[in-house]
């Protein structure tokens, strides 16, 4: 009898435990269904047949250590970049090669070609004089104490800079001395004869023309771009003649103050 009761009580406990386990499993499934989202994945068996499996991903927490992906540290590039450039700088008289300073140009209706300063000569000389004009604009001058050794040109970028000169307060005599000395240096570059376009530029420089005019001198402009600019200006001038003849006459007369055009007239 005692053994029977004992057996019955054991079976009753087992029955209650099964019910409790089923209830807890059911509640756990409901909770997991609320916190996990199923992700379907499809694999292939060695025989080629499909095999389906399902895995779950935590949607509320990302701190599961078992699910953390291990990443390797990013490797650093082996090469080092630098913004420093080794640029060789040379004086103007060495940068402008003798054979590159002059070029012959054949003008229309002219049987004899003319020797003019090459584009690179004009470009470098204008950059050099720009440094002198900047000192004048800052109310300083060099009193003509400089040489081509003070004008250094980068062979890679053609950047020009002025070094090793002493600036003093600007005076009229100091400005004239800078112009005459610069003109003398330019003449020394052309032992076989000064090109026609440089003659007019240097003459106006020695006459004491303003730096703004010398830096925008018609003879020192690139002839390829100057032609288009001149034709556009001439077209505007013809339009002004038809629109207002009085203003047209006043403009033509004002041209006499530039480059002595009053001797040759304007046609």
DSSP character at residue 169 = E
Q: Cα–Cα distance between 117 and 104 in angstroms, integer? A: 9
On whether both 203 and 102 belong to a single domain, the answer is yes
What pLDDT was estimated at residue 66? 52
Strand, coil or helix: 29: helix
pLDDT higher than 50, residue 98:
yes
Q: Cα–Cα distance between 129 and 126 in angstroms, integer? A: 5
What six digits make up the tokens of 139?
């109310």
What pLDDT was estimated at residue 254? 73
On whether both 207 and 231 belong to a single domain, the answer is no
On whether both 199 and 107 belong to a single domain, the answer is yes
What pLDDT was estimated at residue 228? 74
Kindly give, in sequence order, each residue whose CB lies less than 8 Å from that of residue 96, ignoring residues fewer than 6 positions away.
120, 121, 124, 189
Q: Which residues sit opposite 38 in a β-bridge?
A: 56
Structural domain includes residue 259: yes
On whether both 241 and 174 belong to a single domain, the answer is no
On whether both 226 and 152 belong to a single domain, the answer is no
pLDDT higher than 50, residue 116:
yes
On whether both 132 and 172 belong to a single domain, the answer is yes
Range of the domain at 142: 89-221
Find the Cα–Cα–Cα–Cα dihedral 176, 179, 185, 186, rounded to 10°: -150
Summarize the chain as % helix, strand, coil (round to 5).
Answer: 50, 15, 35
Cβ atoms of 95 and 88 closer than 8 Å: no
What pLDDT was estimated at residue 155? 86
The CA angle 226-206-132, to the nearest 5 degrees, is 75
What pLDDT was estimated at residue 84? 44
Q: How far apart are the first and last CA of the chain?
A: 144
**pLDDT tens, position by position, 20-57:** 666 555 555 544 444 444 444 444 455 555 544 444 44
What pLDDT was estimated at residue 32? 46
The pLDDT confidence band at residue 163, using thresholds 50, 70 and 90, is: very high
On whether both 103 and 173 belong to a single domain, the answer is yes
Structural domain includes residue 81: no
**pLDDT tens, position by position, 182-235:** 999 999 999 888 998 899 999 999 999 999 989 988 888 877 777 777 778 788
Average pLDDT value for the chain: 75
Of 223 and 95, which is predicted with more confidence? Answer: 95
């Amino acid at each position: 009898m005692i053994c029977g009761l004992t057996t019955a009580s054991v079976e009753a406990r087992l029955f209650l435990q099964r019910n409790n386990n089923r209830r807890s499993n059911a509640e756990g499934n409901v909770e997991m269904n609320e916190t996990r989202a199923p992700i379907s994945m499809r694999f292939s068996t060695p025989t080629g047949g499909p095999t389906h499996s399902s895995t779950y991903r935590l949607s509320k927490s990302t701190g599961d250590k078992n699910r953390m992906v291990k990443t390797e540290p990013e490797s650093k590039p082996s090469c080092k970049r630098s913004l420093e450039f080794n640029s060789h700088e040379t004086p103007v008289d060495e940068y402008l090669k003798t054979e590159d300073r002059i070029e012959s140009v054949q003008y229309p209706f002219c049987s004899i070609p003319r020797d003019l300063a090459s584009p690179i000569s004009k470009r470098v000389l204008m950059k050099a004089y720009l440094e002198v004009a900047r000192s004048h604009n800052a109310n300083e001058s060099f009193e003509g104490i400089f040489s081509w050794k003070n004008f250094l040109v980068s062979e890679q970028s053609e950047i020009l800079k002025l070094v090793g000169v002493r600036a003093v307060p600007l005076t009229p005599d100091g400005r004239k001395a800078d112009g005459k000395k610069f003109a003398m240096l330019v003449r020394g570059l052309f032992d076989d004869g000064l090109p026609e376009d440089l003659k007019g530029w240097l003459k106006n420089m020695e006459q004491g023309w303003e730096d703004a005019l010398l830096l925008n001198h018609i003879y020192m402009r690139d002839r390829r771009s100057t032609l288009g600019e001149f034709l556009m200006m001439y077209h505007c001038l013809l339009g002004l003649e038809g629109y207002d003849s009085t203003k047209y006459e006043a403009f033509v007369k004002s041209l006499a103050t530039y480059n002595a055009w009053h001797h040759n007239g304007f046609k």
